[in-house]
Amino acid sequence: MTLNHLDITHEDRDYINNRREAPPKDSISRSVRDKAQELERDTEYDTMVSVYQWVTENIAYDLGDDPVNRAEKVLQERETICAGYANLTQHLLAYLGIEVYYISGNVLTGASSGVAGHGWNEVVIVGGTYALDTTWGSRYSSGGEFRRAPTQDYLTDPESLELYHWCDWTKDQEVSRR
C-alpha cells in the first residue's frame, strides 16, 4: 500500500527514525498514573478514546514563549504544545498497558512555509493501529489565540492522518509530497 502523499510504501513505517517507545510504567508520575486510572475503560479501544477525549477537552494549546512538555507538568498546568500533548497521551496510555509510540515528523500548515515540525501518537491495540493527534484534535488557533474545539477527526488510522502528517525516514529515502 502506498501512502497518500509519500513515495514510499506502508511497510517502510518500520524504518521510522523518530518513533519513541513509551517509558517504563514505574517511571510515570503518580499524578499521571491516577489520571490514567480514572480514564481506563473496559476495552483498549474505549480506553484509547477516553484518553483522547480527555486530553483534547482539557488541555489548551500554549501560545506563549515557555511551554511545558513533561507529561506531569502538562497535566498540572493544563497547557502545552504538540510535544506535551503527545507526551501526556503516551504516558496515560502506557501506564494502562497500551502499546503507544510518540511520533515526531512534519505537518502541512496554512502558514506561508506550508510545513512545520510536529508530534503525535501511534497506538497499537487489538483490532488495529491508530494515529492520534491530540493537539489538532483539541483546538484551532485564530488571530494568535487558542480556541477550544475538540474533534475526533484526528483519532484515526495512520493512513488517513498521513494526508497531513508525515515522518522523516531513514536509509536516505527521499520523501516528496505529490
Averaged pLDDT, 47-76: 93
Q: What is the pLDDT confidence band of residue 136, given thresholds at 50, 70 and 90? A: confident
Residue with cell 509510540: 101
Residue 17 clears pLDDT 50, i.e. is over it: no
Rounded Cα–Cα distance for residues 67 and 86 (Å): 13
Tell me whether residue 120 is exposed, middle or buried, using C-beta atoms within 10 angstroms of its C-beta: 0 to 12, 13 to 18, 19 or more. Answer: buried
Q: What is the pLDDT confidence band of residue 159, given thresholds at 50, 70 and 90? A: confident
* The pLDDT value given to residue 111: 60
| Phi, psi torsion values for 159, nearest 5 degrees | -65, -40
- Pick 22 or 171 by higher pLDDT: 22
> Taken in order 73, 79, 83, 89, is the CA torsion positive or negative?
positive
Report which of 128, 142, 134, 139 is spatially closest to residue 165, judged by C-alpha positions.
134
Q: What is the pLDDT confidence band of residue 6, given thresholds at 50, 70 and 90? A: very low
Residue 7 clears pLDDT 60, i.e. is over it: no
Q: 17-166 is classed in which CATH architecture?
A: Roll (3.10)
Amino acid, single-letter form, for residue 163: L
- Pick 118 or 51 by higher pLDDT: 51
- Where is 104: in which H helix or E strand? strand 99-108
- Pick 172 or 21 by higher pLDDT: 21
- Pick 161 or 135 by higher pLDDT: 135
* The pLDDT value given to residue 167: 65
The whole-chain average pLDDT of the chain stands at 78
